[in-house]
Amino acid sequence: MAPRAGPGSRGAGPPSPPSPPLLLGLLLGLACRAAAGAAAGPGPGPGPEPELELERRFVPDPCPRTVRRGDFVRYHYHGSFPDGRQFDSSYDRGSTFNVFVGKGQLIAGMDQALVGMCVNERRFVKIPPNLAYGSEGVSGVIPPNSVLHFDVLLMDLWNSEDQVQIDTYFKPPNCPRTIQVSDFVRYHYNGTFLDGTLFDSSHNRMKTYDTYVGIGWLIPGMDKGLLGMCVGEKRIITIPPFLAYGEDGDGKDIPGQASLVFDVVLLDLHNPKDGVTIENRSVPENCERRSRAGDFLRYHYNGTLLDGTLFDSSYSRNRTFDTYIGQGYVIAGMDEALLGVCIGEKRRITIPPHLGYGEDGRGKIPGSAVLIFDIHVIDFHNPSDSIDITTSYKPANCSVLSKKGDYLKYHYNASLLDGTLLDSTLNLGKTYNIVLGSGQVVLGMDLGLRDMCVGEKRTVIIPPHLGYGEAGVDGEVPGSAVLVFDIELLELVSGLPEGYMFVWNQEVSANLFEEIDKDADGEVLLEEVTERRADALCERRSEFTLETQEISPVSGEGRVIRVDYLRPGSPRLTSPPRLGLGTGLSSSLEGAGLGRMPAVGHWAAEAATGLCLQLPGPSVSQPGPAKWDSSTSHRLDPIWAGPSVGLCDGARCRPATGPKSAPLPRPGFSRRRRRPFPENPHSISIPLRLTG
């Protein structure tokens, strides 16, 4: 079976219709003779000729047009004698009777009876013999001098002078563009005959009819009828048969000589030459930076078709759409339209299908659909971005600047780039306290707090790769979000200089610091720890070298500890790997609450009893400020310890206090924020002055 041509489209020519029935041909021939006889005048008779009788049994309202002489009509009829016997019927043949009116192609009575009829009007007509087949009749069918009754229903009418008729019954108030020749359109329609009989509908197929206009893809009448339409417009297009399917019809649903009525609503239009259209709805006055290719954007959008049908919305998911731009991660039209936007900008973007989802569409988006996106840019950044610092206030006396290891107290307001408030210490009624460089805050905040003086106020913008990354914080910080912190530094306690803390589990000299610090400069550098100096540190009397490894407690609850230890001789490795600190020292560490050290790498089989722990800052175990010993001018700092570890403070050594196997202080990291360490009631202070 050959495929059906689309409604309103040109298809292959259908086969020629069969010849009319013999009776119909006979009626037409006799009609011509009767008409000729009527024109010659009435024959001799005793009185006046009887007249035509009409009964209008149904008249439609409205009736926009009536039959005139010269019109072409299509009608159904039943023909019968006064006694009710039927002699002919178009219904029996399954096709209308099609003929010009007033051109002698009908018996005189029918020519008169049809004039003035409306489409869908029904008339009962009594035609006397002198206006029908007269004294001759039709042999074997209509006796001479027969009165004929016709029950007529008019189905269609047109005139050779007719053109396409357009009746627009809805036009949107905003019509920025209308259909032009060569445009591609998507529309719905109902196709009917003049009598209202439906022959086709795109609504029934739940799919628009998609076509080019004005280039011969449609019947001529539809090509003309669609021109000038707006998206959303509704119009009725009436097309005479010579601008539709002509004498032959379409061979299936549309008969020959049929006028067609299309009730059309235009849903979409574009031209293959169209590009992306951008309408700026709102642009911030302060736009310091515009997006460029390679940036990562977070934006909200509503996606609709040209007729306003919503197909997608980021708002309904309560999360932004996040993507790189200019790298093919989104459709070509969106890639182009997102370039040059400001943070906070709102745009309406119109994307033709060849820059959208093409002929195939996707999901709720039909093929060849123009897309409209109303977007709101929330933030963007580039993977190469670092933090951005803007100082709003700086005290006149700003000599002491924050650095790694310092203990800081500050207030902050945290927000997104669009101004959405995330958190505020002012709302909590307390400061935020950290040790700078200890990993208690995100890296961007750690960097943003450096080189500040007390009383300074600054705004720090942190890109996500220096903030909470792609994951964000569930329910609080969106993934890939740029963060804005307004900071005021309230207190600064300087941290320890870079150095080492030595811990021994044996008695040492009360003047240990002075014995090591032979040049009496108040500092002990690594190069001062020679074989001669090491005699005072360990039982091993050989050259010591420094090795470093990061290890974690077995419990997994403590933070990673940087361990620097002295080992006799040159470095050497053993296998299988194990922590070679010696039984006594390992037990001491376990008793100190560090837990038994796991084997985390290749270590020497034996190590010195001296252990050096490098501290990240002044408050490892509690947020309180560090202390200074006025007698020695050496920095005091708390540290966790157990009873089996002796601590040396540079003046004397004493056993540490605290419970055996006390747990390590947890860093208290939460996804909401990195909190200071909890206070340790068993911590003690020891002096530190060894630097390296």
Are 513 and 633 a contacting pair, CB within 8 Å?
no
Q: Is 634 within 8 Å of 689 (Cβ atoms)?
A: yes
- The values of phi and psi at residue 539, to 5°, are -70, -30
Q: Supply φ then ψ for residue 608, to 5 degrees.
A: -70, 160
Residue 240: asked if its preceding bond is cis (omega within 30°), the reply is: no
What class has domain 388-493?
alpha beta
Q: Are 10 and 212 in contact (CB under 8 A)?
A: no
Secondary structure letter of residue 265 according to DSSP = E
Taking only Cα atoms into account, the Rg of the chain, rounded to an integer number of angstroms, comes to 49
Confidence label for 454 from pLDDT (cuts 50, 70 and 90): very high
Least confident of 48-62, 452-466, 521-535, 583-597: 583-597
Q: What is the mean pLDDT of the chain?
A: 75
Q: Indicate the pLDDT class of residue 119, thresholds 50, 70 and 90.
A: very high
* Pair of tokens at residue 382: 């580039």
CA distance 665 to 671: 18
Query: Which uninterrupted H or E stretch holds 111?
Result: helix 108-114
Average pLDDT over residues 640-651: 29
What's residue 247's pLDDT? 93
- Statement: 27-37+49-158 belongs to CATH 3.30.450.20: no
Domain boundaries along the sequence of the chain: 27-37+49-158, 165-270, 277-381, 388-493, 501-688
List b or e across 121-130, with b for residues whose CB sees 16 or more CB atoms inside 10 angstroms.
bbbebbbbbb
Range list of β-strands (E), 228-370: 234-239, 260-270, 277-282, 296-305, 310-313, 321-324, 346-351
The answer to whether domain 165-270 and domain 277-381 are alike in fold is: yes
Q: d(Cα 399, Cα 452) in Å, to the nearest integer?
A: 10
What confidence category does residue 494 fall into, taking pLDDT thresholds of 50, 70 and 90?
confident
Instruction: Give the residue, 125 or 37, on which the prediction is more confident.
Output: 125
* 536-583 confidence digits (pLDDT tens): 444 332 333 333 333 333 333 333 333 333 333 333 222 222 223 333
d(C-alpha 462, C-alpha 612), whole Å: 36
Mean pLDDT on 52-65? 94
Cβ neighbours, 10 Å, residue 636: 16
| Global pTM exceeds 0.85 | no
Per the CB < 8 A criterion, the answer to whether 257 and 72 are in contact is yes
pLDDT of residue 499: 52
264-304 pLDDT, tens digit each: 999 999 999 999 999 999 999 989 899 999 999 999 999 99
Q: What is the pLDDT confidence band of residue 612, given thresholds at 50, 70 and 90?
A: very low
Cis peptide before 241 (omega within 30 of 0): no
What are the pLDDT digits (tens) for 212-249?
Answer: 999 999 999 999 999 999 999 999 999 999 999 999 99
Domain 277-381 CATH assignment equals 3.10.50.40:
yes
* Residue 657 to residue 10: CA distance in whole angstroms: 99
Exposure string over 100-114, b if 16+ CB within 10 A, otherwise e: bbeeeebbbbbbbbb
Q: In Å, how far are 68, 163, 394, 560 from 103, measured between CA atoms?
A: 11, 21, 103, 107
Place of tokens 């050989």: 542
Give me 558's structure tokens: 């403590």
Counting every residue written for the chain, the total comes to 692
- What is the pLDDT confidence band of residue 507, given thresholds at 50, 70 and 90? low
Chain segment 309-343, per-residue pLDDT in tens: 999 999 999 999 999 999 999 999 999 999 999 99
Give the residue among 191, 183, 290 at the shortest CA–CA distance from 229. 183
- For 205-212, the CB contacts below 8 A with 24+ separation are 207/366, 208/267, 208/268, 208/366, 209/6, 209/7, 209/8, 210/184, 210/185, 210/186, 210/367, 210/368, 211/6, 211/9, 211/184, 211/185, 212/182, 212/183, 212/184, 212/185
Note whether 219 and 18 are within 8 A (CB): no
Check whether 531 has a pLDDT greater than 80. Answer: no
Q: Which sequence positions are flagged as catalytic? A: 301, 311-312, 331, 357, 373
Q: What is the pLDDT of residues 178-199, one digit of tens each?
A: 999 999 999 999 999 999 999 9
Q: Is 575 exposed, middle or buried (0-12, 13-18, 19+ CB in 10 A)?
A: exposed
Q: Do 244 and 171 meet the contact criterion of CB atoms below 8 Å apart? A: no
Residue given tokens 């008793």 in the structure block = 591
Taking only the tens place, the pLDDT of each residue in 460-484 is 999 999 999 999 998 899 999 999 9
Is 77:153 a contact under the CB 8 Å cutoff?
yes
Q: Is the pLDDT assigned to residue 628 strictly greater than 60? A: no
Query: What is the SS3 assignment for 64-87?
Result: CCECCCCCEEEEEEEEECCCCCEE
Residue partners of 78: CB distance under 8 A and separation at least 6: 86, 88, 89, 91, 150, 151
The answer to whether 448 and 485 are in contact (CB under 8 A) is yes
Does the CA dihedral 473-477-479-481 come out positive or negative? Answer: negative
Percent of the chain with pLDDT over 70: 66
Please determine, looking at this structure, whether the domain spanning 165-270 carries the CATH number 3.40.50.1000: no
Averaged pLDDT for residues 649-673: 31
